[in-house]
Amino acid sequence: MDSGEEKALADIAEYGCHVLHIIAEGDLPPFTYTVGIQRTSSAPELVVIGLKQLIAHFVVNEYNRRVQAGEQFSHGQLASGFIEGFDCQFREVHLSHYREYFGWDIWLYGGTEFRVLQLVYPTVDGIWPWDPSGSN
């Protein structure tokens, strides 16, 4: 086991999860995801795409805190308190994206037997990514 894996396991033991922030690359935005939440809280892991690192870390840590307190989130659910002034929505991440984006979770769980929710947020104008008016 290398020092990165040891750190991840120590974070999971102490905080309930390990957080990874992947910087933007080319046309791909940055993303932040959790490792270990399903193990410690029986809740899905979380990914947030396109936020600055500080905000993204707040969001995933708030999710971790809330699921540790017993709150449950599911696909399609709206929730507040993650990004100030905006409701966000949870969306289930399809298994076909796991290998490309969630390598540390695959390492921890020994395969793809875990769930991931994406926290999706609207633009400052309240437009969701799937809203046809958002593609103009």
**pLDDT digit string (tens) for 56-70?**
999 999 999 999 999
CA–centroid distance for 124 within its chain: 20
CA–centroid distance for 85 within its chain: 19
The model's pTM is: 0.93
SS3 of residue 55 by DSSP: helix
Q: Give residue 136's pLDDT.
A: 46
- Cα radius of gyration (the chain): 15
Query: Quick check: is 130 in a domain?
Result: no
- Mean residue pLDDT of the chain comes to 95
Query: Quick check: is 131 in a domain?
Result: no
Residues 6+ apart with CB under 8 A from 64: 15, 16, 17, 34, 37, 41, 46
Q: Which two tokens stand for residue 38?
A: 């399903």
Residue 18 has pLDDT above 90, yes or no: yes
The total number of structural domains that make up the chain: 1
Question: Percent of the chain beyond pLDDT 90?
Answer: 88
Query: Quick check: is 38 in a domain?
Result: yes
Residue 112 has pLDDT above 60, yes or no: yes
Q: Give the range of the structural domain holding residue 33, as residue numbers without chain letter.
A: 3-125
**pLDDT digit string (tens) for 6-17?**
999 999 999 999
Query: Quick check: is 62 in a domain?
Result: yes
Residue 125 has pLDDT above 90, yes or no: no
Query: Quick check: is 14 in a domain?
Result: yes
